[in-house]
Structure 1
Amino acid sequence: MIGSQNSPYRLLEPADSAIPLVCDSPHSGTEYPADFCHVVPRAQLRGGEDTHVDQLWRAAPSVGATLLLANFPRTYIDLNRTANDIDPLLLDGDWPEPLSPSEKSRLGYGLIWRKLNAATVIYDRQLSVNEVQQRIQNYYRPYHAALAQAIENSMQRFGGVWHLNLHSMPNNAYERLQIKNNPHPLADFVLGDRDGTTCEPEFMNLIEQYLRTLGYTVARNDPYKGMQLIAQIGQPNKNRHSLQVEIRRPIYMNEASREPNANFQTVQNDITQLLKKIAEYLSERSSPTLQQTHQVKNE
């Protein structure tokens, strides 16, 4: 394992024969930096965590995958945003470069979160430009560099990479996203490939169909399509496939206490079996013959 308690991330290498699967959990960190200086009670702030997602997918290295885990919380700095997705209203001075705040920033959930929800602000002041720059330098960039290296290692070794960006979602996701009059309940799993642009359909189909055989409800790109990480990594025409996986929190934990519920072990075991299914699929896709075929197709 690379990284430790004082590192911004942990990187778990494959424990057995490696496969071209890289998994990352950018939002499950629970180590709150001393300079966070939030005014929201910690218990309430934890509502922004993808708590226990790292544990749900902990079997990834045992099937040959690389697993990257953030140690810090997303409310401190959100790894699944671009580095310029900053609300100027958050800052007490001028940013030295052009900013590009997204709709997420408007809602208060940009690179640096301003809010937990529409009514709850995180800070009682604006942040200094230097504060935000330090978070980018010390937390955001090291994590992204580690993920980029893991992706590149897979490309060099196997001629391709399949990436899973791992998350969980609150039960009131539609409300938080200000989506009104939704005609159906939130699915147990939401698979996002930015409307078919970041991942081969066969990989998406494999995961969706297997989860359905286990009795889970599954949706595609509703309400989460995927953000910065899969947009950056997923280039199917280059044999780079990236898929975001969201798990509805109440199926594995108590959202109020953040504690695992009675179904946690079942969900964890199901995900382990899913990882084994993925490993079988990728072992075939990454064989020398298929690598050569892919290389010829792209020359």
Structure 2
Amino acid sequence: MNTTFFGFAVLLFLGTVLAVEGLYLYWSSRHGPRAKRFAARIELGSADAQAKVQPLSILKQRMLSDSPLIVRLLSDIPFVHSIDSKLRQAGSKMTVGRFIGYTCAAAVAGLAIGSALALSFVAQLAIAGMLAVLPWLKVCRDRSQRLRQIERQLPDAADSIARALRAGHSFASALAMLSEELAAPLGAEFRIAFDEINFGVSMNTALYNMTERVPLDDLRYFVIAVLIQRESGGNLAEILSNIGFIIRERLKLFAKVRALSAEGRLSGWVLALLPFVVIGVLSILSPGFIKIFWTDPAAEKLAGLCLGLMTLGILWMRKIVRIRV
């Protein structure tokens, strides 16, 4: 092999490699990730950017959906953030986009069932509406159970913090110990508040965020007592012990009222479910007799009127047996 040709090939290879490397370095210095970070920092440091940019938050933001497109679509809907707040209070990891997807799927399933049964369009819409409400009812049920469980844990939590303060610990360290010793869900909420404080969030903001995640009046009283003591001073351990005693006594009174109103609530459930049970039994035993409700227009109007009166009666009985303590 010619030595000159071999040397030329080697030099050509090295020149190509160096040219490619130079082009890569040039592109990286202008458009690479590090260059973008530097440009963003310089822009944030400028006066114009500081006047326009929103203040950054060190708190973790909850996403409305896993898809950026769906997030942009949901951001313009006014009640989306309310749904997200209910999901967060229920302790659900489901996003708003997935929740709306489940709701739409349930409505479509209701329409398909009504079409398969050859029902009228009004009956199909009624079935679709009832099935579409099921995901929301599930969220409300989980939220109610979670808040009730937190309310039962709160007196013990107040007593534990009071004992920790009497032992000489600070309020923040008492939160840390309580987050490790107390079971979920209240222990997890205290852990989130303690982590926010560790990351630099003020005590007032961390406790306020906890009341947003857990909308309980007893927890608000607990937070208000802590914040007032931080401003004006006083024996916080004694205050928390009194709050724990008051919450415990209130829960006892609520349990007594609930036991006394159990008969009225049971009567309400029986009166509300009895017509649907009768219609279901008649649909099985005598389909021709009950078919008039789905075919005759007058029967459909009468059924709609009955449903409206039943709804009014259920709401009225619920108002009677629901006693706030």
Q: Same fold (TM over 0.5)?
A: no
TM-score, normalisation: structure 2: 0.23
More helix by share: 2
TM-score, normalisation: structure 1: 0.24
